[in-house]
Amino acid sequence: MTSKALQSFLEENITDLKERGLYNEIDPVQGANGPIINIDGKELVNLSSNNYLGLATDDRLKEVAKDAVDSHGVGAGAVRTINGTLDLHLELEKKLAAFKGTEAVISYQSGFNCNMAAISAVMDKNDAILSDELNHASIIDGCRLSKAKIIRFSHSDMDDLRAKAKEAVESGQYNKVMVITDGVFSMDGDVAKLPEIVEVAEEFDLITYVDDAHGSGVLGKGAGTVKHFGLQDKVDFQMGTLSKAIGVIGGYVAGKGELIDWLKVRSRPFLFSTAVSPADAVASTKAVDLLMESTDLNEKLWENSQYLKDGLKKLGFDIGDSETPITPCILGDEKDTQDFSKRLYEEGVYAKSIVFPTVPRGTGRVRNMPTAAHTKEMLDNALFAYEKIGKELGLI
């Protein structure tokens, strides 16, 4: 029998979210998550996937994944520190280290796990973390788990970062101080000011940590935000995900050999959670191989991104200050934003609304994610839908 207190809590709060336009409906996809998806039998241009390079449905990745199931089975069978470390995991980590330009890499089950693992393995209650106020939820949770003092600095405000770094270091209260930032901010598509962050870090001896989930495969000709700025030797932690541009699942931290050795003996998701499957490991390795061999997919991604951005701006929509393929169409009001997304669905376009608490109140947006797999015809269909609905609702 369900607790009355729990039942009351759930009914009251779910109703409240629905009334305020903050309740998120989940739409199961029938089939693959490609540039065109099928939901409830309806075909839609897909502008909500993180599958930047189209690799999630790439035949070359599917082939090696199938072979890995035959040779290694469907699961790793254990945690990495017992006998769950397969030769395929080591091959993946070696390839990622070469890709990111670091001494070593440790791989995890997800990007979220990386931030939960790596931050708390190095930082503790005697330390402080300077965190950009728009950092991803996984960074926030990883910082909380460490029990370090969390000091937020204004988004990409280098004067504020410098002032707070100076105050934290000179206070003498902390053994270590870390500065942590997303490489690419997932809701606005802007890029962290890494050269300036590194400059502050060097001045105050800060540990540097970059979450490059949305930068890997996108910036730096695919190698990521840190490589884009040529700072591989200046950033202590490069965190990346294998579930976005790479198209599979998992995450990793790249850095010095000693750091990776420490994470292997002290990061809890590595110690206490079963490793990713053989198919996932080998498919990720194949994806990295493809990115190291050619920049064609990366160039197509940027071409499609610019095409969609230009089209939306020409129609009069506010796409913010995005510097990457992430293309927000900022509408403001939460209810209006969700209604706009629903109308796009009716017109054959799947572009999800993003509202509070993912973004600040009053900054609701429809978030568009063009990929290398989209054709110009698909993007034109999306722009036509935007124009039709924008005029219909008096927004353009």
Q: Range with the lowest mean pLDDT among 1-5, 132-136, 258-262, 366-370?
A: 1-5
Task: Confirm whether 186 is a catalytic residue.
Answer: yes
Active-site residue, from 95, 149, 244, 286: 244
Share of the chain above pLDDT 70, in %: 99
Please check the confidence at residue 21 and state whether its pLDDT lies above 80.
Answer: no
Q: What is the pLDDT of residues 337-369, one digit of tens each?
A: 989 999 999 999 999 998 887 888 899 999 999
What domains can you pick out in the chain, each with its CATH number? 18-47+295-392 (3.90.1150.10), 59-293 (3.40.640.10)
The beta strand positions in 142-266, using DSSP E, are 149-153, 177-182, 207-211, 237-241, 251-255
Dihedrals phi, psi of 240, to nearest 5 degrees: -140, 165
**Contact between 238 and 96 (Cβ < 8 Å):** no
Q: Catalytic: 42?
A: no
The pLDDT, as a whole number, for residue 2 is 78
pLDDT tens digits, one per residue of 136-181: 999 999 999 999 999 999 999 999 999 999 999 999 999 999 999 9
Given this model, what pLDDT does residue 144 score? 97
Question: Which residue among 48, 186, 267, 305 is the active-site one?
Answer: 186
DSSP 3-state assignment of 50?
A: coil
300 is catalytic: no
Percent of the chain predicted with pLDDT > 90: 91
> Where are the strands (E) in the chain, listed by range?
36-39, 42-46, 104-108, 128-132, 149-153, 177-182, 207-211, 237-241, 251-255, 327-332, 349-350, 353-354, 364-368
Q: What is the pTM of this model?
A: 0.93
Catalytic residue among 214, 227, 286, 374: 214
Average pLDDT, the chain: 96
Q: Are 144 and 150 in contact (CB under 8 A)?
A: yes
CA distance linking residue 210 with residue 192, whole number of Å: 9
Report how far apart, in Å, the C-alpha atoms of 310 and of each of 34, 127, 162, 320 are: 23, 45, 36, 13
- pLDDT score recorded for residue 393: 87
Q: What is the pLDDT of residue 358?
A: 80
pLDDT in tens, 66-91: 999 999 999 999 999 999 999 999 99
